[in-house]
Each structure stands twice: as structure tokens, then as C-alpha cells.
Amino acid sequence: MVLDLTASSADITRAICDIPSVSGEEQALADAIEQAVTGLPHLEVIRHGNTVVARTDLGRPQRVAIAGHIDTVPIHDNLPVRDIEIDGEPFLWGRGTVDMKAGTAVQLKLAAELADPSIDITWMWYDNEEVAADLNGLGLLAAARPDLFEADFAILGEPSDGEVEGGCNGTLRAIVRTTGVRAHSARAWIGENAIHRAAPILARLAEYRAREVPVEGLLYRESLSAVRISGGVAGNVIPDACEVEVNYRFAPSKSAADAEAHVRAVLAGFDVEITDAAEGARPGLDAEIARRFVSAVGAEPRPKYGWTDVARFSALGIPAVNYGPGDPHLAHHDEERVPLAQIEAVERGLRAWLTSH
């Protein structure tokens, strides 16, 4: 399919949403994006797997990296995209409209049109954001071409309701285990029930009160939750093992080591295995370039509670924010939909900042 980048951002959203790109199946969309931006005289285009990078090199004193992922979660009877109205307001409905092809569409349109921006721009459209971190196209690009990540500021087009969401919380997952002794359930007193022994774990998590942590003027809310529990052998057997999977979302002022220490303290006395951890990202809104961006788009910064790839930029010392159309509560939802007015507003905001001298 040939993408027309002279079309409106809404029409580009329709077009790229209707190219299915579930994680691991992004090649057709990556090919279309590469074809659309190749040959534009103001852009150098680099392809790495199914990640496409397009850069200006105008000798500006500062550079911004603007990134968007091109994959989606699985389709569930929500393609092709449809135009709908809710209370008289026009929306685009369908998989990817929120997370995050509307944001990617805005980026593609501006990449094609802004031949003389006030700041050099590195556009990045990457694959496999919705799956395991070791497959993430942005992470693989950073490992292979760290030079492409040289920037003074970064924007990720994740859905933020058209507002600016600074940084993001970190996330940690752990498995908490209990053990027992198997026995026939008719003679339960002979065994020791590992599932029953998990009751204090669940009680501690149920009683846990989320902390609110101020970081650089934004208030991040933490959470510690049981997200899965497994155990049992058969309907007539006392179980000898139980596992509770726990997810801790922690403020970006904490390191992963701090988060691990906190989880182990809350669950002291139990066997805790940390299975995954990703640092958060400080908002970085005190940087001059970030302040100019916030002023230009006319947004009130707020915290990002979910983890996003802004953390990859933050780890490199690059302040980064989330800024894109779409209600994040509708990401991955079967009724995913984005207001056309929000797509247009984000395009205006980015264009105003990138062209202000």
C-alpha cells in the first residue's frame, strides 16, 4: 500500500490502521512507511529490521527525537477503521486508533512537511512495543545504532489525551512462593496446604495503601498488586506449591533496586523472586527545551502512571515526555477510538513548537 503523506493526519491514521500490524507482523506497515519517507530531500532514512528512522541534518543547535511504535495488540473484530459519532463529536474507531497509530500518523505528516524546522528532528517508527522487551525495536536500535539517539529532548507519541505526560513510573514483577505437603483431600490434616499459606501474602497486598510521590513537580501514584495466582494439583489433592505474581508500579524517583527492597520488605518472611524490572523516567520538565515545548503546545503537564519507552531515553540522560492523541484508558480496548479533534490538536501543537524560531 502507498501512503499519501499529503493527506490529513486523520486520513493517514485510517490508512495505517487498516494495514494490520500486530506485534511481530509489522513488515507491511514498515515497508509502507519507509517508501513514503524515502526520497524526501530533507530526510536521511535508515531502516533497521522493521524500525524506520528519518532524520534532518540542518546544523541546528539542538535535536529532538520523536518516536512512535507501529505495532498493535491483536485485532478483535475492530478493523477496518470506522467513522463514528458520539454526542455529535466525530471519532475514528478501530484497533490502533488510540495505541498509537493516530500519534504515529501525526508524526508521519509532520516529518514529510517540515523541511525547515527550528530544531533538528530524528523521527523513529519502531516495532514490537507491545511484547517482550528483548524484541522492542527501539531497544534493538539503541543497541545497534546508539548514535541515532543523540538528542536534547524526546517525545513519545503514546496516547495522553492530547496532554503532556512527563516521564513514567517504573515497573517490577515478582513471584512469591509458598510450599506445603501433598495429601489426599479426604485426609487434609495429613498435608500442609500451600494455597492456604498464601493467605497472608494476599492480606498484606489487600491492606497495602498506594503512595503518592512528588517528583519534579508531578505527583506519581504507586501501586502494589497481585496480578496472578497459581497452584493446585487435582480436585482431591492438597497442594504443595502456590505462586502469587505481584506487580509493583513505582515512582521514577526510585531505582529498580529501591523497588526490589520495598517489595521484599512488604513481603518479608516469604520466598520472593524478582522476575522483571524496568526503571521509570523522571519527567525532565525542568530542562529549558522541555519548558518551551510545554508552553508551545499549551498543555498542563501530568504524570504518566504506566511504563512507556520514554524510560529508554531517560536512561540515556535525555528528558522525555509522552504526547499523543487518544484516551489511554481505551488503549487495547475493543472499543478503541480517538476524537478527530484531538488528532488535529496534537498536530497543531507539535507543528507550532517545531516551527517556532
pLDDT of 357 reads 60
Task: Provide the whole-model pTM.
Answer: 0.89
Cell triple for residue 73? 495488540
pLDDT of 286 reads 86
* pLDDT per residue as tens digits for the range 182-191: 999 999 999 9
Residue 116 CB-half CA count within 13 A: 1
Q: Is 132 exposed, middle or buried (0-12, 13-18, 19+ CB in 10 A)?
A: exposed
pLDDT of 77 reads 96
Q: What are the catalytic residues?
A: 71, 129
Percent share of the chain, pLDDT over 70: 100
* pLDDT per residue as tens digits for the range 160-188: 999 999 999 999 999 999 999 999 999 99
Helix (H) or strand (E) holding 102: helix 102-113
Dist CA 104 CA 109 (whole Å) = 9
pLDDT value at 132 more than 90: no
Could you tell me where the beta strands, DSSP code E, fall in 189-301? 212-215, 218-221, 223-231, 237-238, 241-250, 271-278
What is the rounded average pLDDT for all residues in the chain? 96
